[in-house]
Amino acid sequence: MPSRYDEVYRRSLADPQGYWAEAAEALDWDKRWDKVLDDSRPPFYRWFAGGKLNTCYNCLDRHVMNGDGDRVALIYDSPVTNTIKHFTYAELTREVAKLAGAIKAQGIDPGDRVLIYMPMVPEAAMAMLACARIGAIHSVVFGGFAPRELASRIDDAKPKLVLSASCGIEVHRVIAYKPLLDEGIATSTYKPAHCIVLQRPQAKAEMVPGRDLDWQETVAKAPPADCVSVAATDPLYILYTSGTTGNPKGIVRDNGGHAVALNWTMKYFYGMEPGQTFMAGSDVGWVVGHSYIVYGPLMYGLTSVLFEGKPVGTPDAGVYWRLVQDHKINAIFTAPTAFRAIRRDDPDGKLIQKYDRASLHTLFLAGERCDPPTIAWAEEKLKIPVIDHWWQTESGWVMAGNCVGLGRLPVKHGSVTKPVPGWDLHVLGTDGHDVKAGEIGAIAMKLPLAPGSSPTLWNADQRYIDAYLKEFPGYYATADAGYIDEDGYVFVMTRTDDVINVAGHRLSTGAMEEVVAAHEDVAECAVIGIADELKGQVPLGFIVLKAGTNTPQETVSKEVLALVRERIGAVASLKAALVVQRLPKTRSGKILRGTMRSIADGQDYKMPATIDDPVILDEITGHLKDAGLAKAVAK
């Protein structure tokens, strides 16, 4: 079909209020909004001010009321436990209402925070929906994060209650979550009153008397809870994400704008129809899991597949295609790293051919830059459109991509296609003006941002301004750099800050540096993200030892690696910690991380004019070569 993209995009910018008010009609509101966009307190904008609704009602009860109670809402497929379970909309509504009752019985009122630290089990999605049902604000913490990360989130969100499980399963390894949770609570200053713990048969959790409650027993005792009406501008959740320091940012998501935007994306971006089946191969701990395992698909009446497994190894690289065949999945959304892993294990696509994939019409990729060869391989092997799209935890949904539901535009490998309706995307130079087509600059969004984007940071309005709005007045700085070509196609190339993307996981090298610097023998350090064929990027540490240290270098390196895993989590494992004599710096003392990255990645670099001592770069190059990590050395 001819694409309606141009016309719809233009309208969304010319008349944003009219455009999004129309989109909001697709949902059930308890009270209509007074103002589509409240712009009375810039730079803080609020969508659907005065409106009231309930996100859980719109995801579940609404479909039951409309006669779709027997439609499957959620499929839990867990090769690691050999389990497949189906929940219809009616069943999921009942389960969520019971859990909401149990949460309420712990004294949780609307606006109270509940922390969720869970593996990929259906109870994790139920926990999020149950909080939404009673107006509690959930904060999901990714299961791969260590106790210290958990503690910093507990201290910031101050949850009265924690919902957790005894363990997660990583391929063939059982990871006991409860000791991690106990340690997190022991180290946090703020103490949650209770923890409701789901006992899984793979590992039994020790319960703390008086604080911990058994999930099954607590749910069985409580009366089901109804949906409460909340303001469209009330927070639905806080999701912490990596910034430039060890102090993560609490991204706030509202109820109204979020519901409208996600519902819109299912139809107009992902091109889905109610009743179809969608799978986001992510984790509920990431924004992709929030938006596209739980809220988006259910809001729109789809069947969502919650997969507890990995794209490879559970049992092999054919698992996605087995899932497509078994559950008649119509579209998959996953990170490019998953595809690189699949391609590595099944280069000829033999496993792809083994399964019936007739239902699968589109593959969506996001979470990190997708290298063109991976897209080309997926297109060739799957023979369906492969759509790259770009967004962030802050936006909550796609900012630039190819709107399949509006009629697909031709794909250009390496580009995420065009800005999506609602997002006024600019590429700015350091002077804050738009650069010419083809020129690299900072990607920024003109304010106000589209509905569903983070209106602020949790209890940190000023940090929101400092982090995103100060650099280019009137714009939100995405911290990504890239360019727009002559045809209006957007190319997202790199981050402009300390954030790196490791196997689709967003991590802060600044946070890692804080951990490395805490080692008693380390005088100074730098952590950079270097290119990795499978994971996109991996962190690499450089350490300078304190003068007079007696500990052998290899011991310090090993201890530093272990410290990062212990303090941040296994997902942040450093590729190596190289002991160097000095770090390359500018004369003003700024560490030249970008130059070190260029050396490791084999990219041309210019000798920085302000470098303190150029010889240090040769030393760094030597260390990288010795470790087999310098791909090429530029002059």
Which position among 148, 194, 343, 389 is part of the footprint of ligand AMP (CB under 6 A)? 389
Nearer to ligand AMP, 153 or 519 (CB): 153
Determine, following the binding rule CB under 6 A, whether residue 175 of this chain makes contact with ligand COA: yes
Instruction: Please give the residues from 231 up to 260 whose contact with ligand AMP meets the rule CB under 6 A.
Output: 241
Q: Which residue has the tokens 């150029």?
A: 614
CA distance 390 to 3: 20
What contacts 78, CB < 8 A, 6 or more positions away?
84, 120, 121, 169, 307, 308, 309
Nearer to ligand AMP, 69 or 482 (CB): 482
Determine, following the binding rule CB under 6 A, whether residue 449 of this chain makes contact with ligand AMP: no
Do residues 180 and 150 make contact, with C-beta atoms less than 8 angstroms apart? Answer: yes
Q: Mask: binding to ligand AMP, 287-326, rule CB under 6 A, as x and -?
A: x---------------------------------------
Task: Kindly give the pairing relationship between strand 249-254 and strand 235-241.
Answer: antiparallel
Nearer to ligand COA, 20 or 269 (CB): 269
CA distance 316 to 310: 9
Write the DSSP assignment of 1-36 as a string of letters: ----HHHHHHHHHHSHHHHHHHHHTTS--SB--SEE
Determine, following the binding rule CB under 6 A, whether residue 570 of this chain makes contact with ligand COA: yes
Do residues 522 and 560 make contact, with C-beta atoms less than 8 angstroms apart? Answer: yes
Nearer to ligand AMP, 366 or 444 (CB): 366
Residue 422 binds which entry of ligand COA, ligand AMP, none, with Cβ cut-offs from 5 to 8 Å by kind?
none
Which position among 75, 196, 266, 335 is part of the footprint of ligand COA (CB under 6 A)? 335
Do residues 482 and 443 make contact, with C-beta atoms less than 8 angstroms apart? Answer: yes
Quote the least distance from Cβ 243 to ligand AMP, whole Å: 11
What contacts 10, CB < 8 A, 6 or more positions away?
none
Nearer to ligand COA, 95 or 283 (CB): 283
CA distance 90 to 609: 66
Q: How many residues of this chain interact with ligand COA, rule: CB under 6 A? A: 24
Which position among 503, 511, 577, 592 is part of the footprint of ligand COA (CB under 6 A)? 503
* DSSP label of 434: B
Determine, following the binding rule CB under 6 A, whether residue 283 of this chain makes contact with ligand AMP: no
Which position among 79, 159, 367, 452 is part of the footprint of ligand COA (CB under 6 A)? 367
Determine, following the binding rule CB under 6 A, whether residue 341 of this chain makes contact with ligand COA: yes
Q: Which residue has the tokens 């590595």?
A: 344
Nearer to ligand COA, 60 or 341 (CB): 341
CA distance 216 to 406: 45
Quote the least distance from Cβ 20 to ligand AMP, whole Å: 22
Which position among 240, 286, 458, 542 is part of the footprint of ligand COA (CB under 6 A)? 286
Quote the least distance from Cβ 499 to ligand AMP, whole Å: 7
- Taking only Cα atoms into account, the Rg of the chain, rounded to an integer number of angstroms, comes to 24
Quote the least distance from Cβ 126 to ligand COA, whole Å: 18
CA distance 565 to 571: 8
Quote the least distance from Cβ 286 to ligand COA, whole Å: 4
Residue 170, Cβ neighbours under 10 Å: how many? 17
Residue 175 binds which entry of ligand AMP, ligand COA, none, with Cβ cut-offs from 5 to 8 Å by kind?
ligand COA
Nearer to ligand COA, 175 or 629 (CB): 175
Nearer to ligand AMP, 388 or 601 (CB): 388
Residue 82, Cβ neighbours under 10 Å: how many? 6
Nearer to ligand COA, 89 or 364 (CB): 364
Do residues 501 and 532 make contact, with C-beta atoms less than 8 angstroms apart? Answer: no
Helix, coil or strand: residue 388: strand
Nearer to ligand COA, 441 or 569 (CB): 569
Residue 338 binds which entry of ligand AMP, ligand COA, none, with Cβ cut-offs from 5 to 8 Å by kind?
ligand COA
Nearer to ligand COA, 389 or 426 (CB): 389
User: Which residue's Cβ lies closest to ligand COA?
Assistant: 504
* CA angle at 369 for the pair 404 and 357, rounded to the nearest 5°: 45
* DSSP label of 485: -
Instruction: Please give the residues from 489 up to 528 whose contact with ligand AMP meets the rule CB under 6 A.
Output: 492, 495, 501, 506
CA distance 51 to 34: 6
Task: Kindly give the pairing relationship between strand 230-231 and strand 52-53.
Answer: antiparallel
270: left (phi over 0), alpha (psi -120 to 50) or beta: alpha
Residue 503 binds which entry of ligand AMP, ligand COA, none, with Cβ cut-offs from 5 to 8 Å by kind?
ligand COA
Quote the least distance from Cβ 292 to ligand COA, whole Å: 9
Quote the least distance from Cβ 123 to ligand COA, whole Å: 15
* CA angle at 388 for the pair 386 and 392, rounded to the nearest 5°: 150
Determine, following the binding rule CB under 6 A, whether residue 573 of this chain makes contact with ligand COA: yes
Query: Which H helix or E strand runs over 400?
Result: strand 400-401
CA distance 173 to 357: 30
* CA angle at 462 for the pair 459 and 467, rounded to the nearest 5°: 105
Determine, following the binding rule CB under 6 A, whether residue 288 of this chain makes contact with ligand COA: yes
Stretch that binds ligand COA, among 309-317, 519-527, 610-618, 627-635 (CB under 6 A): 309-317
Determine, following the binding rule CB under 6 A, whether residue 367 of this chain makes contact with ligand AMP: yes
Q: Where are the beta strands (DSSP E) in 562-606?
A: 577-579
CA distance 448 to 458: 19
Contact residues: ligand COA, CB under 6 A: 143-144, 168, 170, 175, 281-283, 286, 288, 310-312, 335, 337-338, 341, 367, 503-505, 570-571, 573
Residues forming contacts to ligand AMP in the complex (CB under 6 A) are 241, 287, 366-370, 388-390, 392-393, 416, 478, 480, 492, 495, 501, 506
